[in-house]
Amino acid sequence: MRDKQARPRVLVVEDESAIRDGVVTALSDEGCVVEGRADGSTLGADLTGFRPDLVVLDVMLPGRDGLALAGDVRRAGDAGIVVLTARDAVPDRLAGFGAGADDYLVKPFAMAELVARVRAVLNRRGRWPGAVEVGDLVVDEPAGSATRAGAALELTATELRLLGYLVGNRGRTVSKTQILTQVWGYEDYDPNLVEVHVSALRRKLEVHGPRLVHTVRGLGYTVRA
Ligand code: CA
């Protein structure tokens, strides 16, 4: 296992240079080591040479498409995969998860959203160095700990994963389906499962201060101090 303080390595395969350059810059600014490619022709060499912790894959690429490449990434090791799809290409999204993608973004997307998704996937895999802070809450998911106002929170493993996913996406609203997919690994569970765990998490968080995990009615949840 790699040193968790090492900078995360991200490979970006996107033929549209403006998007590729934007993603490379945004993730570099977050402290990642990033390489950009216009197609998947060097993917095999990149997986063994650059050894990315996460690969951002556009679906529509010259040569082999992003979903075929996702299969290669999944077979080669345990790198995270975030797929970029065209607007409303629902079959692409479903195929993306079938091909082993951890998450997807629909174009056009805000760079802040891409960064949040990448951070959440890396965090969940223990590849995001250090702790994430929201107000007086500090979540160090790789270290398996969380504190609020300096007090250690006694969280179950599921609650810590849930909290880690929520704070990894701070500033965004995440749906119950996204939470089921990302925290439980499958989207077909009962959404009440999410509500039950959010309630339990809130009880533990709110012993130490005001509400942090907010309900966005009809959409899901967001974390903000
Ligand atoms: Ca493309």
For 26-61, the pLDDT digits (tens) are 998 877 899 999 999 999 999 999 999 999 999 999
Q: CA 194 to CA 184: how far, in whole Å?
A: 9
Give the closest residue to 149 by CA, choosing from 224, 223, 222, 206.
206
Q: How far is the CA of 16 from the centre of ligand 1 (A)?
A: 6
Which CATH number is 9-124's, of 3.10.580.10, 3.30.70.890, 3.40.50.2300, 3.40.50.150?
3.40.50.2300
Q: How far is the CA of 25 from the centre of ligand 1 (A)?
A: 18
Query: In 3-state terms, what secondary structure has residue 52?
Result: coil
Q: What mean pLDDT do residues 189-218 have? A: 95
For 142-165, the pLDDT digits (tens) are 678 899 999 999 999 999 999 988
Q: How far is the CA of 116 from the centre of ligand 1 (A)?
A: 21
Give the closest residue to 39 by CA, choosing from 79, 72, 1, 6.
72
Q: What mean pLDDT do residues 128-151 have? A: 85
pLDDT at position 143, please?
74
Q: CA 217 to CA 65: how far, in whole Å?
A: 37
Q: How far is the CA of 74 from the centre of ligand 1 (A)?
A: 20
Query: What are the phi and psi torsion angles at 178 (to 5°)?
Result: -60, -40
Q: How far is the CA of 163 from the centre of ligand 1 (A)?
A: 34
Q: How far is the CA of 138 from the centre of ligand 1 (A)?
A: 38
Give the closest residue to 82 by CA, choosing from 105, 64, 99.
105
**Is this prediction's pTM over 0.75?**
no
For 80-113, the pLDDT digits (tens) are 999 998 866 666 666 767 778 898 888 999 998 8
pLDDT of 168 strictly over 60:
yes
Q: Which helix (H) or strand (E) holds 11?
A: strand 9-13
* pLDDT > 70 fraction of the chain, expressed in percent and rounded: 92
Where would I find the H helices in the chain? 17-29, 43-49, 66-76, 90-98, 111-124, 157-168, 176-179, 192-205
Residue 79 near residue 47 (C-beta atoms within 8 A): yes
Q: How far is the CA of 81 from the centre of ligand 1 (A)?
A: 16
Q: How far is the CA of 89 from the centre of ligand 1 (A)?
A: 13
More confident residue, 223 or 126: 223
Query: What are the phi and psi torsion angles at 82 (to 5°)?
Result: -120, 125
Give the closest residue to 55 by CA, choosing from 117, 1, 112, 111.
117
CATH number of the domain located at residue range(s) 132-223 in this protein = 1.10.10.10
pLDDT at position 92, please?
66
More confident residue, 2 or 192: 192
Residue 85's DSSP bridge partners are: 106
> What would the two tokens of residue 217 be?
């009615």
Q: How far is the CA of 130 from the centre of ligand 1 (A)?
A: 33
Q: How far is the CA of 63 from the centre of ligand 1 (A)?
A: 11
Q: How far is the CA of 85 from the centre of ligand 1 (A)?
A: 9
Q: CA 50 to CA 135: how far, in whole Å?
A: 36
pLDDT at position 188, please?
73
Q: How far is the CA of 39 from the centre of ligand 1 (A)?
A: 9
pLDDT band at 71 (very low <50, low <70, confident <90, very high): very high
Q: Quick count: other Cβ atoms within 10 Å of Cβ 158?
A: 14
Average pLDDT of the chain to the nearest whole number: 88
For 182-198, the pLDDT digits (tens) are 888 777 778 899 999 99
Q: What mean pLDDT do residues 209-218 have? A: 96
Give the closest residue to 65 by CA, choosing from 97, 96, 100, 110.
96
Q: How far is the CA of 67 from the centre of ligand 1 (A)?
A: 12
pLDDT at position 3, please?
38
**Stretch among 123-127, 134-138, 176-180 having the lowest mean pLDDT:** 123-127
Q: Domain spans of the chain?
A: 9-124, 132-223
Q: How far is the CA of 59 from the centre of ligand 1 (A)?
A: 6
pLDDT of 6 strictly over 80:
no
